[in-house]
């Protein structure tokens, strides 16, 4: 753990934490909430490591006041949460569900009372099951339904939400949900999943227009990025690295800035209609960056189904997810975005950054997580270095406030600043919570409160 003081950040820098609806809310089936693809997927045998579901998760639906108090105690200036589409529109279309909208109305008001900016993500992977039954994101109409849903939410919350995020990690949803089948909805289409990419981005562009028509904003998208490390020195290795770069980092970014889709096996022009790229390139106010680690890539063996092979990066500490801890990769990534998109690039906010470790309460009842403190310290230093490099980074959100239901890993991976006993729902702030609280207080100072 570094003993040097964490560097200062500019006045007005946004300090936040992030969560997502299905991972923490619970309340499945309450107040008119309809089924999502994750409800269906979690009930399919063998899909979730520990056989659990998000039916209760962290019971945030009933305990949100307790969780907002934790946010206030941490001293964050913003809270990034997601709105469950099936809680607002149980069938994925039609009028809004009053019970669901009331819940988010209460949450937003509670945040504002505590001086915390509500940052609302419209889609964090929990598609209403009726839309998936109709084809999901493979169908163009889902983009139109998403815009309708965005309008419903903005009509209720748009006067108070301080930043809208349309989509969370559309690359991950496409690749793991529709390409590889390890996330909901569990399809295994490989590169035939490209329509999912285009229809998500089209939905993003239509939602931006819907939000702006309501006079609501500013607006962002949160993309997952991973610096590519080419492991090998052949032309084939470099080509493999370029192919992965195009798929992971550029497929969901180039079109945002009017550059169309990168060349490569995923970019099927038959899906794209006249005018679509103009809709997708609607100006955004912030680019959300989710960063966890770089990716090692080399040329695949002959006959492999993909044009690259992913290789674990050696020589770094590992998280409980077996992800390498590479803080300098975040600085590298932020510089890459600046150099690649230049004047097109809006201000950046790091909308997710965090780590899973096997945190358990000690004999004293406290949860000590020095590895997470080291992780956060390193990544905050990387952000400060990127700012010094001239990258316009205006915020940092830790993933996550709470230990939660971690998708296909169920309850086996803990990312939280706050430990959750899933049996009793007791919340216990970890040592990283206290550490971050002090960092935020020192950075903000009395003049920036």
For the beta sheet containing 309-311, the strands, ordered from the edge strand earlier in sequence to the opposite edge, are 228-230, 295-298, 309-311
Q: Which neighbouring-strand residues pair with 324?
A: 318
64, with CB counted inside 10 A (0-12, 13-18, 19+), is buried
Task: Determine if residue 129 is labeled as part of a ligand binding site.
Answer: no
296, with CB counted inside 10 A (0-12, 13-18, 19+), is buried
292 marked among binding-site residues: yes
Establish whether 249 is an annotated binding residue. Answer: no
Q: Which of 25, 169, 245, 371 is catalytic?
A: 169
Cis peptide before 311, with omega less than 30 degrees from 0?
A: no
* Residue 169 among the catalytic residues: yes
In terms of residues, how long is the chain? 449
Q: Is 407 annotated as a binding residue?
A: yes
168 is in an annotated binding site: yes
Q: What is the 3-state secondary structure (H, E, C) of 14-74?
A: EEEEECCHHHHCCCCCHHHCCCEHHHHHHCCCCCCCCCCCCCCCCCHHHHHHHHHHHHHHH
Contact 270, 194 (CB under 8 A): no
CB 383 within 8 A of CB 389: no
Question: Which candidate in 25, 132, 352, 371 is catalytic?
Answer: 352
Q: Is 405 annotated as a binding residue?
A: no
Phi, psi (deg, nearest 5) at residue 219: -130, 145
144 labeled part of a ligand binding site: no
Residue 200, H or E segment: helix 194-213
Pairwise CA distance, residues 84 & 43, whole Å? 18
Q: List, by residue number, the catalytic residues.
A: 169, 352
Annotated binding site for substrate: 23, 124, 168, 292, 399, 406-407
Annotated binding site: 23, 124, 168, 292, 399, 406-407
């Amino acid at each position: 753990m570094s003993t040097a003081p964490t560097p200062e950040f500019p006045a007005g820098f946004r300090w936040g934490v992030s969560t997502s609806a299905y991972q923490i809310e619970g309340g499945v089936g309450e107040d008119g909430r309809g089924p999502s693809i994750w409800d269906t997927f979690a009930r399919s045998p063998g899909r979730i490591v520990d056989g659990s579901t998000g039916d209760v998760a962290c019971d945030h639906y009933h305990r949100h006041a307790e969780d907002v108090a934790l946010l206030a105690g941490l001293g964050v200036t913003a809270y990034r949460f997601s709105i469950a589409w099936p809680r607002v529109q149980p069938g994925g279309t039609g009028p809004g569900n009053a019970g669901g909208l009331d819940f988010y109305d209460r949450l937003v008001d509670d945040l504002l009372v505590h001086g915390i900016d509500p940052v609302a993500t419209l889609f964090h992977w929990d598609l209403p099951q009726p839309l998936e039954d109709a084809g999901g994101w493979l169908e163009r109409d889902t983009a139109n339904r998403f815009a309708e849903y965005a309008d419903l939410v903005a009509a209720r919350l748009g006067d108070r939400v301080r930043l809208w995020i349309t989509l969370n990690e559309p690359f991950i949803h496409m690749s793991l949900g529709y390409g590889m089948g390890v996330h909901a909805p569990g399809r295994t289409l490989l590169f035939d999943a490209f329509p999912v990419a285009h229809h998500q981005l089209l939905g993003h562009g239509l939602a931006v227009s819907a939000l702006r028509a309501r006079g609501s904003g500013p607006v962002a998208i949160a993309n997952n990025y991973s610096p590519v490390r080419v492991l090998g020195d052949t032309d084939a290795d470099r080509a493999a690295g370029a192919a992965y770069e195009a798929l992971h980092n550029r497929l969901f970014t180039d079109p945002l800035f009017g550059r169309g889709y990168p060349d490569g096996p995923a970019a099927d022009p038959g899906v794209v209609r006249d005018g679509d790229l103009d809709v997708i390139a609607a100006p955004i106010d912030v680019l959300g960056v989710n960063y966890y680690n770089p990716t090692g890539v080399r040329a695949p063996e002959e006959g492999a189904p993909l044009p690259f092979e992913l290789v674990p990066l050696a020589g770094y500490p590992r998280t409980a997810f077996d992800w390498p801890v590479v803080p300098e990769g975040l600085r590298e990534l932020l510089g890459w975005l600046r150099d690649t998109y230049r004047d097109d690039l809006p201000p950046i906010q790091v909308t997710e950054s965090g780590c899973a470790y096997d945190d358990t309460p000690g004999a004293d009842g406290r949860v000590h997580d020095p590895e997470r403190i080291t992780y956060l310290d390193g990544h905050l230093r990387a952000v400060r270095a990127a700012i010094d490099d001239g990258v316009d980074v205006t915020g940092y959100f830790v993933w996550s406030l709470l230990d939660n239901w971690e998708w296909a890993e169920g309850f086996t991976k803990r990312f939280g600043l706050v430990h959750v006993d899933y049996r009793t729902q007791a919340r216990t702030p970890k040592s990283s919570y206290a550490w971050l609280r002090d960092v935020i207080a020192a950075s903000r100072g009395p003049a920036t409160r």
